[in-house]
Structure 1
């Protein structure tokens, strides 16, 4: 259950749906098997998988939902090879060069024929909705996937006004300062052992892992004008993660004390109870520490500005 990545969004004018109404809305957009010629589809599924049928878990204002993304895998090389073979047969049979327009039509034909036989890749993407903080977080490795889940939620609710969470201090500027000046680091913040440094010019990106971030080598790179676009951090004893310059949180790990608390809870070997226990503990820990991170970055930006649709 524990999230590995977070793309954070501020929810504006939250729709006033209770848990029952939201569950009904999710059911209307439930995941269904792909049709023969459907290249991809996304719908809501049960976060608990086989352990439960509910598409929504609502616990003390913390909501958990899961989207199932299905996509047919039809490599472009396979389509191209089949198109070339059929085009060659037509040209040999009719004694003429196939024009581009006919090749495009042939490609569409081939794609339509091969698509039903293509493998289907399924990906479950979890969404956490903190109704008290008006915060939504998507457990996705890329922002593109996170936005797809938000699009599904928007379609499900009829309207959804969200903006990517933003802070007064740019994460890149703050991360660079924390690297450069140990005295600027918040008391509970500990540097990890990996960093990505971007140059202002065309010198590219430097990535370093398992390094001492307070070393002279890192300081020299900072003095040359490089800035931190990714930085491994730990909120002491609570969370460790890699912070990105767009405020995405990746490689998220939870502190031993929280995991021990989850393991010590009595779930009676019930997978559904285990899921809900872990989720609630995780949501509470994330909510508190996201607030702490926002404060370290100067507070939230644009709180009085007109929200935009994403």
Structure 2
């Protein structure tokens, strides 16, 4: 249940929908298996898997939803090889070179024939909706996958206005300052041992793991106009993570004491109770961490709903 990554979004003019209504609309958009001619499909599934029937778990204003995505894996190399074989056979038989459109027609035909036989890959992605803070977070390392899930939620609700969470101070600037000036670090910040440094003016990137971030080597690199685009940090006694320059939080690991607290909770070997216990403890820690992270970055950047990204804020009726 413990999230590994967070793509964070600010919810604008959040839809007024209670848990019962939300459960209903989620079930109406429930996942159904791929048809033989479909390349991909996404829909809602039960967060507890086979152990549960609920599409929504809500505790103390914290909502958990899970999407299931399936896609058929058809390697481009396989399609290309088959197209080349068919093209060569036709050209040999007819004694002429095929036109571009004819080759495209063959490619489409090959794709349609091979697709039903392609392997199917399934992937679940969790979404956390903090109704108290007006935040939505998606547990994925990919911004594209996060926005795909938001599209599904928008379709489910009818409308949804969200923007990526933004701070007053750009993360790349703040992370660079924390590295170069130890005195600027908040008292509850724990420095990790991982960093990515980008060079100004070109695409050069240096990545280092299991290093002393206060070492002379790191400081010399920073003196040569490099900036921190990723930085391993922690909130003392709660969790550790890698902060990215787009404010994504990845590689989350929770403090042993927090995990132990969850393990000691009485669940009577009930999978649903365990899921909800872990989720509540996790979101309490994550909510506090998001609040502190925004404080470290000078507060949240205030963006009126009028500037909501059209890709993320399209409404439907």
> Contact 1:230–1:245 (CA<8 Å) still a contact in 2?
yes
Please list the CA deviations of residues 52-93 of structure 1 after superposition, one character each: whole Å capped at 9, or x if unmatched.
Answer: 011100111100000001110000000011111111111111
| 1:261 to 2:282 alignment | no
**Alignment map for 1:7-22 (pairs within 5 Å):** 7-22=7-22
The number of equivalent residue pairs is: 310
- From the superposition, tell whether residues 87 and 203 of structure 1 become closer, same or farther in structure 2 (CA, over 3 Å): closer
Cα distance in 2 for residues equivalent to 1:83 and 1:203: 37
For 2:129 and 2:102, the matched residues in 1 are separated by: 49
1:49 lines up with 2:46 in the alignment = no
Other-structure match for 1:197: 197
- After superposing on structure 2, the runs of 4+ consecutive aligned residues of structure 1 that deviate more than 4 Å are none
Task: Go from structure 1 to structure 2 and tell me whether the alpha carbon gap of 1:65 and 1:203 turns closer, same or farther (over 3 Å shift).
Answer: closer
Residues in 1 aligned to 2:192 and 2:306: alpha-carbon distance in whole angstroms = 37
Gaps of 5+ in 2: 313-317
Asked if structure 1 preserves the Cα contact closer than 8 Å seen for 2:12 and 2:305, the reply is: no
> Offset at 1:208?
0.4
Q: Which runs of 5+ in 1 are unaligned?
A: none
Alpha-carbon distance change, 269 to 307 in structure 1, aligned in 2, over 3 angstroms: farther
The separation in 2 between residues aligned to 1:56 and 1:38, in whole angstroms, is 27
**1:304, distance to aligned residue in structure 2 (A):** 4.2
Aligned-partner Cα distance in 1 for 2:89–2:305? 61
Are residues 1:145 and 2:145 paired? yes
**1:293 counterpart residue number:** 293
Measure the CA separation in 1 of the matches of 2:307 and 2:154.
15
Q: Is the 8 A contact 1:162 1:307 kept in 2?
A: no
Q: How far 1:11 moved relative to its partner? A: 0.2
Question: How far 1:303 sits from its partner (Å)?
Answer: 4.1
> Contact conserved, 1:161 with 1:307, CA < 8 A, in 2?
no
Give the Å deviation of 1:306: 2.6
* Cα distance in 2 for residues equivalent to 1:292 and 1:191: 15
Residue of structure 2 in register with 1:134 after alignment: 134
Give the C-alpha shift of residue 170 in structure 1. Answer: 0.3
Separation in structure 1 between the aligned mates of residue 211 and residue 177 of structure 2, nearest angstrom:
18
Q: Tell me the residue number matched to 1:238.
A: 238
Shift of 1:129: 0.1
Corresponding residue number in structure 2 for 1:110: 110
Q: Distance in 2 between matches of 1:202 and 1:296?
A: 28
**Normalised TM-score (structure 1):** 0.98
Aligned with 1:306: secondary structure? helix
Partner of 1:121: 121
